Structure 1
Amino acid sequence: MKLRTTVRTTILDRSDVFVLWLFAVLAALVGVLSLISVVPAIVDLFGDDIPVTLSAAMTVPTDAATGSATILSGTFDRADLVVSGIDVGPRVALAGSMAATAVMTAVVAASIVAMCRAVLLGRPFVRSATWLVATASITLIAGSLIGAGLDTVAMFSIVTALNPDPMDAVFPFMSEYDFAPLLIGLVLAVVATAFQLGQKMQRDTEGLV
Protein backbone atom coordinates (compact mmCIF):
# COMPACT_ATOMS: atom_id res chain seq x y z
CA MET A 1 0.00 0.00 0.00
CA LYS A 2 1.40 3.39 -0.99
CA LEU A 3 1.36 6.17 1.55
CA ARG A 4 0.60 9.71 0.48
CA THR A 5 1.34 12.81 2.52
CA THR A 6 -1.32 15.52 2.50
CA VAL A 7 -1.00 19.07 3.73
CA ARG A 8 -3.99 20.72 5.31
CA THR A 9 -4.19 24.39 4.47
CA THR A 10 -6.36 27.07 5.95
CA ILE A 11 -9.20 28.27 3.71
CA LEU A 12 -9.62 32.05 3.77
CA ASP A 13 -12.49 34.08 2.38
CA ARG A 14 -12.07 37.43 0.65
CA SER A 15 -12.62 39.47 3.80
CA ASP A 16 -9.91 37.51 5.62
CA VAL A 17 -7.48 38.03 2.76
CA PHE A 18 -8.27 41.76 2.63
CA VAL A 19 -7.76 42.20 6.38
CA LEU A 20 -4.48 40.27 6.36
CA TRP A 21 -3.16 42.29 3.42
CA LEU A 22 -4.26 45.50 5.14
CA PHE A 23 -2.43 44.56 8.34
CA ALA A 24 0.67 43.54 6.40
CA VAL A 25 0.79 46.75 4.35
CA LEU A 26 0.17 48.99 7.37
CA ALA A 27 2.82 47.17 9.41
CA ALA A 28 5.32 47.45 6.57
CA LEU A 29 4.63 51.18 6.23
CA VAL A 30 5.05 51.74 9.96
CA GLY A 31 8.32 49.82 9.97
CA VAL A 32 9.76 51.66 6.99
CA LEU A 33 8.62 55.08 8.22
CA SER A 34 10.13 54.46 11.66
CA LEU A 35 13.53 53.79 10.10
CA ILE A 36 13.29 56.71 7.69
CA SER A 37 12.06 59.26 10.22
CA VAL A 38 14.76 58.48 12.77
CA VAL A 39 17.56 59.46 10.37
CA PRO A 40 16.91 63.24 10.28
CA ALA A 41 16.17 63.19 14.03
CA ILE A 42 19.59 61.66 14.70
CA VAL A 43 21.27 64.09 12.30
CA ASP A 44 19.70 67.02 14.19
CA LEU A 45 21.30 65.79 17.40
CA PHE A 46 24.75 66.61 16.06
CA GLY A 47 23.94 70.20 15.09
CA ASP A 48 24.70 73.29 17.14
CA ASP A 49 21.29 73.27 18.87
CA ILE A 50 19.41 70.15 19.93
CA PRO A 51 15.80 69.79 21.17
CA VAL A 52 15.30 67.94 24.46
CA THR A 53 12.43 67.32 26.85
CA LEU A 54 13.38 67.50 30.53
CA SER A 55 11.61 67.20 33.85
CA ALA A 56 10.94 70.64 35.30
CA ALA A 57 10.19 72.06 38.73
CA MET A 58 8.68 75.44 37.93
CA THR A 59 5.80 77.37 39.45
CA VAL A 60 3.05 78.74 37.26
CA PRO A 61 2.69 82.50 37.89
CA THR A 62 -0.70 83.30 39.36
CA ASP A 63 -1.04 86.35 37.12
CA ALA A 64 -0.92 84.18 34.00
CA ALA A 65 -4.73 84.12 33.89
CA THR A 66 -6.40 87.14 32.27
CA GLY A 67 -10.02 85.98 32.37
CA SER A 68 -12.63 85.77 35.09
CA ALA A 69 -11.05 82.68 36.68
CA THR A 70 -7.91 82.94 38.78
CA ILE A 71 -4.94 80.65 39.26
CA LEU A 72 -4.38 79.75 42.90
CA SER A 73 -1.31 77.57 42.33
CA GLY A 74 0.31 75.44 39.69
CA THR A 75 3.54 73.82 38.54
CA PHE A 76 5.20 72.66 35.34
CA ASP A 77 6.59 69.13 35.33
CA ARG A 78 7.89 69.12 31.73
CA ALA A 79 9.85 71.54 29.61
CA ASP A 80 10.65 71.38 25.90
CA LEU A 81 14.02 73.05 25.42
CA VAL A 82 16.44 73.83 22.63
CA VAL A 83 19.93 73.73 24.12
CA SER A 84 23.47 74.20 22.86
CA GLY A 85 26.94 73.50 24.19
CA ILE A 86 26.20 69.81 24.82
CA ASP A 87 29.11 67.37 24.61
CA VAL A 88 29.29 64.56 22.08
CA GLY A 89 28.64 61.82 24.65
CA PRO A 90 25.02 62.74 25.45
CA ARG A 91 24.33 63.27 21.76
CA VAL A 92 25.58 59.77 20.95
CA ALA A 93 23.52 58.32 23.81
CA LEU A 94 20.37 60.07 22.56
CA ALA A 95 21.06 58.85 19.03
CA GLY A 96 21.44 55.30 20.31
CA SER A 97 18.17 55.54 22.22
CA MET A 98 16.33 56.80 19.13
CA ALA A 99 17.89 54.10 16.96
CA ALA A 100 16.89 51.39 19.45
CA THR A 101 13.27 52.57 19.36
CA ALA A 102 13.23 52.65 15.56
CA VAL A 103 14.76 49.17 15.29
CA MET A 104 12.25 47.79 17.81
CA THR A 105 9.37 49.19 15.77
CA ALA A 106 10.77 47.86 12.49
CA VAL A 107 11.37 44.35 13.85
CA VAL A 108 7.86 44.12 15.32
CA ALA A 109 6.44 45.36 12.01
CA ALA A 110 8.45 42.71 10.15
CA SER A 111 7.10 39.99 12.45
CA ILE A 112 3.53 41.14 11.73
CA VAL A 113 4.20 41.02 7.99
CA ALA A 114 5.70 37.53 8.31
CA MET A 115 2.72 36.24 10.29
CA CYS A 116 0.25 37.71 7.79
CA ARG A 117 2.19 36.16 4.91
CA ALA A 118 2.26 32.76 6.60
CA VAL A 119 -1.50 32.84 7.18
CA LEU A 120 -2.13 33.95 3.59
CA LEU A 121 -0.09 30.99 2.38
CA GLY A 122 -2.19 28.68 4.52
CA ARG A 123 0.70 27.68 6.78
CA PRO A 124 0.62 29.98 9.82
CA PHE A 125 3.17 28.01 11.82
CA VAL A 126 6.16 28.08 9.47
CA ARG A 127 9.63 28.17 11.02
CA SER A 128 10.50 31.61 9.61
CA ALA A 129 7.47 33.25 11.25
CA THR A 130 8.25 31.57 14.57
CA TRP A 131 11.86 32.75 14.52
CA LEU A 132 10.87 36.27 13.54
CA VAL A 133 8.36 36.54 16.38
CA ALA A 134 11.02 35.27 18.79
CA THR A 135 13.49 37.81 17.39
CA ALA A 136 10.93 40.58 17.83
CA SER A 137 10.44 39.52 21.44
CA ILE A 138 14.16 39.59 22.20
CA THR A 139 14.58 42.89 20.35
CA LEU A 140 11.75 44.55 22.29
CA ILE A 141 13.01 43.39 25.67
CA ALA A 142 16.68 44.18 25.03
CA GLY A 143 15.99 47.32 22.99
CA SER A 144 13.70 48.85 25.60
CA LEU A 145 16.28 48.30 28.34
CA ILE A 146 19.18 49.57 26.23
CA GLY A 147 17.21 52.55 24.94
CA ALA A 148 16.08 53.52 28.43
CA GLY A 149 19.62 53.20 29.75
CA LEU A 150 21.07 55.39 26.99
CA ASP A 151 18.32 57.97 27.43
CA THR A 152 18.97 58.08 31.18
CA VAL A 153 22.69 58.66 30.63
CA ALA A 154 21.97 61.42 28.11
CA MET A 155 19.40 63.20 30.29
CA PHE A 156 21.67 63.08 33.35
CA SER A 157 24.54 64.59 31.36
CA ILE A 158 22.35 67.34 29.90
CA VAL A 159 20.80 68.23 33.27
CA THR A 160 24.26 68.37 34.85
CA ALA A 161 25.53 70.58 32.02
CA LEU A 162 22.60 72.98 32.46
CA ASN A 163 22.90 73.24 36.23
CA PRO A 164 25.70 71.48 38.13
CA ASP A 165 24.10 72.37 41.48
CA PRO A 166 21.36 69.77 42.15
CA MET A 167 20.00 71.75 45.12
CA ASP A 168 19.09 74.72 42.94
CA ALA A 169 18.07 72.97 39.74
CA VAL A 170 15.07 74.12 37.74
CA PHE A 171 15.38 70.89 35.76
CA PRO A 172 15.84 68.08 38.30
CA PHE A 173 17.05 64.75 37.02
CA MET A 174 14.31 62.14 36.82
CA SER A 175 14.61 58.76 35.13
CA GLU A 176 11.54 57.14 33.61
CA TYR A 177 10.98 53.75 32.05
CA ASP A 178 8.08 52.71 29.84
CA PHE A 179 7.16 49.12 30.69
CA ALA A 180 4.92 48.72 27.60
CA PRO A 181 7.68 47.45 25.22
CA LEU A 182 8.90 45.03 27.90
CA LEU A 183 5.40 43.63 28.44
CA ILE A 184 4.79 43.38 24.69
CA GLY A 185 8.11 41.57 24.34
CA LEU A 186 7.04 39.05 26.98
CA VAL A 187 3.71 38.56 25.19
CA LEU A 188 5.55 37.95 21.92
CA ALA A 189 7.74 35.40 23.68
CA VAL A 190 4.59 33.50 24.65
CA VAL A 191 3.30 33.83 21.07
CA ALA A 192 6.61 32.48 19.72
CA THR A 193 6.31 29.49 22.06
CA ALA A 194 2.75 28.91 20.88
CA PHE A 195 3.94 29.12 17.27
CA GLN A 196 6.62 26.54 17.97
CA LEU A 197 4.04 24.18 19.44
CA GLY A 198 1.72 24.91 16.53
CA GLN A 199 4.54 24.11 14.12
CA LYS A 200 4.94 20.67 15.72
CA MET A 201 1.19 20.10 15.59
CA GLN A 202 1.13 21.19 11.95
CA ARG A 203 3.81 18.62 11.11
CA ASP A 204 1.80 15.97 12.93
CA THR A 205 -1.36 16.84 10.98
CA GLU A 206 0.49 16.45 7.70
CA GLY A 207 -0.67 12.88 8.09
CA LEU A 208 -0.64 9.78 6.02
CA VAL A 209 -3.70 8.94 3.99
Structure 2
Amino acid sequence: MMNVEKQGSKQGELSRGDKGSLIAFCIAGAAIAAYIAVHSIIRIIGLGSGTAVPVMLEFVDQPVDVPLGAGGADLTLDLDRASVTAADLPPLAVVPGIIGQVLQILTIVVVIGCLLLLARSILGGTVFSRRNTALVMTAGITGLFGFAAVRFFDNMLANATVSAVTDNAFDTAVMSVEPFTFILGAFILAVIGTAFSVGDRLQRETEGLV
Protein backbone atom coordinates (compact mmCIF):
# COMPACT_ATOMS: atom_id res chain seq x y z
CA MET A 1 0.00 0.00 0.00
CA MET A 2 1.34 3.40 -1.02
CA ASN A 3 1.73 6.02 1.67
CA VAL A 4 0.77 9.52 0.56
CA GLU A 5 2.33 12.31 2.57
CA LYS A 6 1.27 15.90 1.98
CA GLN A 7 4.03 18.46 2.22
CA GLY A 8 3.71 21.94 3.62
CA SER A 9 3.32 25.08 1.59
CA LYS A 10 7.05 25.76 1.39
CA GLN A 11 8.25 25.62 -2.19
CA GLY A 12 12.00 25.70 -1.77
CA GLU A 13 14.77 27.73 -0.21
CA LEU A 14 16.07 30.86 -1.91
CA SER A 15 19.74 31.44 -2.50
CA ARG A 16 21.49 34.30 -0.72
CA GLY A 17 21.64 36.20 -4.00
CA ASP A 18 17.89 35.85 -4.53
CA LYS A 19 17.18 36.91 -0.96
CA GLY A 20 19.49 39.90 -1.34
CA SER A 21 17.76 40.92 -4.57
CA LEU A 22 14.31 40.68 -3.00
CA ILE A 23 15.39 42.65 0.07
CA ALA A 24 16.88 45.33 -2.20
CA PHE A 25 13.60 45.35 -4.15
CA CYS A 26 11.65 45.87 -0.93
CA ILE A 27 13.87 48.77 0.13
CA ALA A 28 13.65 50.37 -3.32
CA GLY A 29 9.86 49.93 -3.39
CA ALA A 30 9.43 51.54 0.01
CA ALA A 31 11.69 54.43 -1.04
CA ILE A 32 9.73 54.95 -4.27
CA ALA A 33 6.42 54.95 -2.42
CA ALA A 34 7.73 57.45 0.15
CA TYR A 35 9.18 59.75 -2.54
CA ILE A 36 5.99 59.81 -4.61
CA ALA A 37 3.84 60.33 -1.53
CA VAL A 38 5.95 63.29 -0.35
CA HIS A 39 6.03 64.76 -3.87
CA SER A 40 2.24 64.43 -4.16
CA ILE A 41 1.67 66.01 -0.74
CA ILE A 42 3.84 68.98 -1.73
CA ARG A 43 1.87 69.23 -4.96
CA ILE A 44 -1.43 69.15 -3.06
CA ILE A 45 -0.24 71.98 -0.79
CA GLY A 46 0.76 74.01 -3.85
CA LEU A 47 -2.57 73.39 -5.55
CA GLY A 48 -4.40 74.27 -2.35
CA SER A 49 -2.75 77.69 -2.31
CA GLY A 50 -4.09 78.29 -5.84
CA THR A 51 -1.36 80.77 -6.74
CA ALA A 52 1.78 80.46 -8.90
CA VAL A 53 1.13 76.80 -9.62
CA PRO A 54 3.11 75.25 -12.51
CA VAL A 55 0.93 72.99 -14.67
CA MET A 56 2.15 70.66 -17.40
CA LEU A 57 0.16 70.93 -20.64
CA GLU A 58 -0.03 68.50 -23.55
CA PHE A 59 -1.02 69.51 -27.06
CA VAL A 60 -2.03 67.79 -30.28
CA ASP A 61 -0.17 69.18 -33.32
CA GLN A 62 -0.12 72.73 -32.04
CA PRO A 63 2.09 74.87 -34.36
CA VAL A 64 4.14 77.68 -32.79
CA ASP A 65 6.48 80.19 -34.41
CA VAL A 66 9.89 80.42 -32.74
CA PRO A 67 12.44 83.08 -33.77
CA LEU A 68 15.76 81.39 -34.57
CA GLY A 69 18.96 82.46 -36.24
CA ALA A 70 20.82 85.74 -36.49
CA GLY A 71 18.24 87.24 -38.84
CA GLY A 72 15.39 86.54 -36.45
CA ALA A 73 13.59 84.27 -38.91
CA ASP A 74 10.64 82.36 -37.51
CA LEU A 75 10.68 78.57 -37.49
CA THR A 76 7.35 76.78 -37.17
CA LEU A 77 7.44 73.93 -34.65
CA ASP A 78 4.82 71.43 -33.50
CA LEU A 79 4.35 71.85 -29.75
CA ASP A 80 3.40 68.69 -27.84
CA ARG A 81 4.22 69.63 -24.23
CA ALA A 82 4.77 72.82 -22.25
CA SER A 83 4.53 74.14 -18.71
CA VAL A 84 2.53 77.18 -17.69
CA THR A 85 2.44 78.88 -14.29
CA ALA A 86 -0.97 80.25 -13.42
CA ALA A 87 -1.08 83.28 -11.16
CA ASP A 88 -4.45 82.22 -9.76
CA LEU A 89 -6.15 78.85 -10.25
CA PRO A 90 -9.95 78.55 -10.08
CA PRO A 91 -11.59 75.79 -7.98
CA LEU A 92 -12.50 74.04 -11.26
CA ALA A 93 -8.78 73.40 -11.73
CA VAL A 94 -7.72 72.96 -8.09
CA VAL A 95 -10.26 70.24 -7.20
CA PRO A 96 -9.40 67.74 -9.99
CA GLY A 97 -5.70 68.47 -9.47
CA ILE A 98 -5.92 67.53 -5.79
CA ILE A 99 -8.06 64.46 -6.57
CA GLY A 100 -5.44 63.29 -9.06
CA GLN A 101 -2.65 63.59 -6.50
CA VAL A 102 -4.65 61.77 -3.81
CA LEU A 103 -5.38 58.97 -6.29
CA GLN A 104 -1.69 58.82 -7.14
CA ILE A 105 -0.75 58.35 -3.48
CA LEU A 106 -3.40 55.66 -2.98
CA THR A 107 -2.45 53.86 -6.19
CA ILE A 108 1.27 53.74 -5.49
CA VAL A 109 0.74 52.71 -1.84
CA VAL A 110 -1.55 49.83 -2.85
CA VAL A 111 0.70 48.67 -5.71
CA ILE A 112 3.94 48.86 -3.73
CA GLY A 113 2.26 47.39 -0.64
CA CYS A 114 1.00 44.36 -2.58
CA LEU A 115 4.41 43.82 -4.15
CA LEU A 116 6.14 44.07 -0.77
CA LEU A 117 3.75 41.48 0.67
CA LEU A 118 4.45 39.28 -2.35
CA ALA A 119 8.20 39.64 -1.85
CA ARG A 120 7.80 38.79 1.84
CA SER A 121 5.89 35.64 0.93
CA ILE A 122 8.57 34.62 -1.57
CA LEU A 123 11.27 35.23 1.04
CA GLY A 124 9.34 32.82 3.25
CA GLY A 125 9.62 30.16 0.55
CA THR A 126 6.15 30.42 -1.02
CA VAL A 127 5.95 31.61 -4.61
CA PHE A 128 2.66 30.25 -5.93
CA SER A 129 -0.45 30.47 -3.77
CA ARG A 130 -3.93 31.92 -3.94
CA ARG A 131 -2.86 34.77 -1.70
CA ASN A 132 0.08 35.64 -3.96
CA THR A 133 -2.13 35.45 -7.05
CA ALA A 134 -4.58 37.84 -5.38
CA LEU A 135 -1.73 40.21 -4.49
CA VAL A 136 -0.45 40.24 -8.08
CA MET A 137 -3.90 40.85 -9.55
CA THR A 138 -4.72 43.55 -6.98
CA ALA A 139 -1.47 45.39 -7.70
CA GLY A 140 -1.95 45.12 -11.46
CA ILE A 141 -5.60 46.19 -11.58
CA THR A 142 -5.02 49.04 -9.13
CA GLY A 143 -2.05 50.31 -11.11
CA LEU A 144 -3.82 49.98 -14.44
CA PHE A 145 -6.96 51.89 -13.50
CA GLY A 146 -5.38 54.09 -10.84
CA PHE A 147 -2.78 55.71 -13.08
CA ALA A 148 -5.37 56.06 -15.87
CA ALA A 149 -7.57 57.98 -13.42
CA VAL A 150 -4.60 60.13 -12.35
CA ARG A 151 -3.96 61.07 -15.98
CA PHE A 152 -7.65 61.88 -16.46
CA PHE A 153 -7.71 64.32 -13.54
CA ASP A 154 -4.35 65.83 -14.55
CA ASN A 155 -5.85 66.57 -17.97
CA MET A 156 -8.84 68.19 -16.27
CA LEU A 157 -6.40 70.37 -14.32
CA ALA A 158 -4.51 71.31 -17.49
CA ASN A 159 -7.63 72.18 -19.47
CA ALA A 160 -9.11 74.22 -16.64
CA THR A 161 -5.81 76.06 -16.18
CA VAL A 162 -5.55 77.00 -19.85
CA SER A 163 -9.18 78.12 -19.87
CA ALA A 164 -8.51 80.36 -16.87
CA VAL A 165 -5.29 81.83 -18.33
CA THR A 166 -6.60 82.43 -21.86
CA ASP A 167 -10.28 83.14 -21.10
CA ASN A 168 -11.37 80.01 -23.02
CA ALA A 169 -9.52 81.15 -26.15
CA PHE A 170 -7.22 78.13 -26.39
CA ASP A 171 -7.74 74.36 -26.30
CA THR A 172 -5.29 71.78 -24.99
CA ALA A 173 -5.23 68.09 -25.80
CA VAL A 174 -8.43 66.14 -25.25
CA MET A 175 -8.80 64.18 -22.03
CA SER A 176 -7.87 60.62 -22.93
CA VAL A 177 -5.70 57.64 -22.14
CA GLU A 178 -3.57 56.12 -24.88
CA PRO A 179 -5.46 52.93 -25.76
CA PHE A 180 -2.39 50.96 -26.86
CA THR A 181 -0.62 51.51 -23.54
CA PHE A 182 -3.76 50.56 -21.62
CA ILE A 183 -4.37 47.43 -23.71
CA LEU A 184 -0.70 46.40 -23.44
CA GLY A 185 -0.79 46.82 -19.66
CA ALA A 186 -4.00 44.77 -19.43
CA PHE A 187 -2.44 42.03 -21.56
CA ILE A 188 0.72 41.87 -19.43
CA LEU A 189 -1.42 41.76 -16.27
CA ALA A 190 -3.51 38.92 -17.72
CA VAL A 191 -0.38 36.91 -18.58
CA ILE A 192 1.16 37.38 -15.13
CA GLY A 193 -2.12 36.59 -13.37
CA THR A 194 -2.59 33.46 -15.47
CA ALA A 195 0.97 32.32 -14.74
CA PHE A 196 0.47 32.67 -10.98
CA SER A 197 -2.94 31.00 -11.12
CA VAL A 198 -1.62 28.03 -13.11
CA GLY A 199 1.46 27.80 -10.87
CA ASP A 200 -0.76 27.74 -7.79
CA ARG A 201 -2.95 24.98 -9.26
CA LEU A 202 0.05 22.87 -10.29
CA GLN A 203 1.61 23.34 -6.86
CA ARG A 204 -1.54 22.14 -5.08
CA GLU A 205 -1.81 19.14 -7.42
CA THR A 206 1.83 18.27 -6.79
CA GLU A 207 1.40 18.51 -3.01
CA GLY A 208 -1.54 16.15 -3.23
CA LEU A 209 0.55 13.52 -5.01
CA VAL A 210 3.66 13.59 -2.87
Band of TM-score, shorter chain? 0.7 to 0.9
Give me the CA root mean square deviation. Answer: 2.8
**TM-score, normalisation: structure 1:** 0.80
Equivalent pairs, count? 201
Pick aligned residue for 2:156 from 145, 150, 153: 153
For residues 163 and 38 of structure 1, the distance between their equivalents in structure 2, rounded to whole angstroms, comes to: 27
Contact 1:10/1:122 (8 A) holds in 2: yes
Alignment-derived partner of residue 127 in structure 2? 124
Contact 2:162/2:168 (8 A) holds in 1: no
C-alpha displacement at 1:76, in angstroms? 6.6
Alignment-derived partner of residue 25 in structure 1? 27
Alignment-derived partner of residue 88 in structure 1? 91
Helix, strand or coil at the partner of 1:79 = strand
Helix, strand or coil at the partner of 1:80 = strand
Pick aligned residue for 1:61 from 58, 63, 67: 67
Deviations 1:1-27 (A, max 9, x none): 765322352232211111121112211
C-alpha displacement at 1:42, in angstroms? 0.9
Alignment-derived partner of residue 42 in structure 1? 44
Helix, strand or coil at the partner of 2:93 = helix
Q: 1:160 to 1:4 in 2, by over 3 A?
A: same
Alignment-derived partner of residue 6 in structure 1? 7
For residues 122 and 168 of structure 2, the distance between their equivalents in structure 1, rounded to whole angstroms, comes to: 58
Helix, strand or coil at the partner of 2:7 = coil
For residues 186 and 26 of structure 2, the distance between their equivalents in structure 1, rounded to whole angstroms, comes to: 20
| Structure 1 residue ranges without an equivalent (≥5) | none
* Higher strand proportion: 2
Deviations 1:45-80 (A, max 9, x none): 111221112246532113xx46xx986624372332
Helix, strand or coil at the partner of 1:58 = strand
| Structure 2 residue ranges without an equivalent (≥5) | none
C-alpha displacement at 1:139, in angstroms? 1.1
For residues 12 and 86 of structure 1, the distance between their equivalents in structure 2, rounded to whole angstroms, comes to: 54
Helix, strand or coil at the partner of 1:75 = strand
Instruction: Specify the code of the residue in structure 2 equivalent to 1:173.
Output: T
Helix, strand or coil at the partner of 1:207 = helix
Identity %: 25
Deviations 1:70-108 (A, max 9, x none): 866243723322212321121111122223233333333
Contact 1:144/1:181 (8 A) holds in 2: no
Instruction: Specify the code of the residue in structure 2 equivalent to 1:80.
Output: S
Contact 1:144/1:182 (8 A) holds in 2: no
